[in-house]
Amino acid sequence: MHVSAAFESGNIEVVEARAGAIDLKIRPDGNAEYFQWFCFRLAGGAGAACDLRIVNAGEASYTRGWDGYRAVASTDGEHWRRVPTSYADGVLTIRHEGQADQVKYAYFAPYERTRHHALVAHCLASGRARLSVPGTSVEGADLDLLTFGAPGEGRRVAWAIGRQHPGETMASWWMEGFLRRLSDPADPVARAVLDRAVVHVVPNMNPDGSFRGNLRANAAGANLNRAWRDPSPETSPEVWHIRNAMEATGVDYCMDVHGDEALPYVFIAGSEGIPSLTEHQTKVRAQHDAALQRANPDYQTAHGYPGSARGKANLRMCTPWVAERFGCLAMTLEMPFKDNADAPDPIYGWSPARSAKLGEGCLDALYAVLDDLR
Ligand code: ZN
């Protein structure tokens, strides 16, 4: 049996292979201490059961993320199922059941650059989107910006961004749902939205970290979702460029898409702690909550992060910074790595398909609040 992570999004190191067990370690993000994302291939393991033991799991960034967590595995790179996983004494143990000679294991279904390019091509082929590259990452990767609809008098300006944290691949699957609807000329909601709004989408804010198999950092070790107040063209150019693009367009709505390691729910963290919070921002957020719950019952409001007190928001984060700067509706959408505990799926847990459905539902919610954004 052979374990390797020497491929895009790969992350694992082999410590020791013994009879019936392989000890592994997750490699921290380069120039940073974060780690939780793993993705590796086990070759030559058909018919041979084996424990895959991640022995540094107890030092990972979010150890509560391992409670009740099950890893995903795939034999074809397309379909990812949950596999038996346990966490005890700082070790995450994934049970390899000998299903095939090639099995990939990951923290969540990975999302690679080839698929991103195909998604961009799909959007462009619809004739409804334009592609621009406002800048590049630390390592020179393109920051793709898809723009749907044309700017014009009285039109709303909506933004959606994903993968600031590269290990949160569910954000990319969410993007597939959101972008496929916007690209569908037969979708009446997409048509109605684009009649009245321009929608700017950055599917991947952190292409370097995604490629490297990082959890939270870019290639310079920066946590991009702490760079919005003072982005640096050297260490956080990804935020620098997209923030400049937002300044050029203005923002009436911003959805920043993430995954949460610990909480088994879909929830939104808002901007209630910003210094200049308005009654209108609070009201439209409540309208959006109700609309998203109707559009997709995976979304709920009972569980989430405690809201910041007035004036205590962290303006280094995208959502509070955008809400404060533009006085608009801005939200951080969190999807689970584990499952939705209110509607669990024993085979797949929270999955790419459910992430995409949530992305579809978010277009309905945007439509519902479009006329009330200002
Ligand atoms: Zn995140």
222-273 confidence digits (pLDDT tens): 999 999 999 999 999 999 999 999 999 999 999 999 999 999 999 999 999 9
| Distance from the alpha carbon of residue 268 to the mean position of ligand 1, in angstroms | 12
| Distance from the alpha carbon of residue 191 to the mean position of ligand 1, in angstroms | 30
| Distance from the alpha carbon of residue 185 to the mean position of ligand 1, in angstroms | 32
User: So what's the pLDDT on residue 153?
Assistant: 87
CA-nearest of 314, 320, 358 to 336 is 358
104-133: pLDDT as tens digits: 999 999 999 999 999 999 999 999 999 999
| Whether residue 305 has pLDDT greater than 90 | yes
Q: Helix/strand/coil (H, E, C) string of 265-318? A: CEEEECCCCCCCCCHHHHHHHHHHHHHHHHHCCCECCCCCCCCCCCCCCCCCCH
| Distance from the alpha carbon of residue 79 to the mean position of ligand 1, in angstroms | 24
| Distance from the alpha carbon of residue 35 to the mean position of ligand 1, in angstroms | 13
| Distance from the alpha carbon of residue 312 to the mean position of ligand 1, in angstroms | 19
pLDDT band at 152 (very low <50, low <70, confident <90, very high): confident
Domain spans of the chain?
2-106, 113-372
Q: Report the chain's mean pLDDT, rounded to a whole number.
A: 97
**Mean pLDDT computed over 141-149:** 98
Say which residues have a Cβ less than 8 Å from residue 110's Cβ, sequence separation at least 6. Answer: 8, 9, 39, 104, 169
| Whether residue 99 has pLDDT greater than 90 | yes
Fold of the 2-106 domain: Immunoglobulin-like (2.60.40)
In this structure, are residues 366 and 329 in contact, taking their beta carbons and an 8 Å threshold? no
195-211: pLDDT as tens digits: 999 999 999 999 999 99
DSSP-assigned states of every residue in 159-215: EEEE-SSTT-THHHHHHHHHHHHHT-TT-HHHHHHHHHEEEEEES-S-HHHHHHT-S
**Mean pLDDT computed over 299-311:** 94
The residues assigned a catalytic role are 334
User: So what's the pLDDT on residue 54?
Assistant: 98
| Distance from the alpha carbon of residue 210 to the mean position of ligand 1, in angstroms | 13
15-38: pLDDT as tens digits: 999 999 999 999 999 999 999 999
pLDDT band at 151 (very low <50, low <70, confident <90, very high): confident
| Distance from the alpha carbon of residue 152 to the mean position of ligand 1, in angstroms | 33
Does this model's pTM top 0.95? yes
316-327: pLDDT as tens digits: 999 999 999 999
Fold of the 113-372 domain: Aminopeptidase (3.40.630)
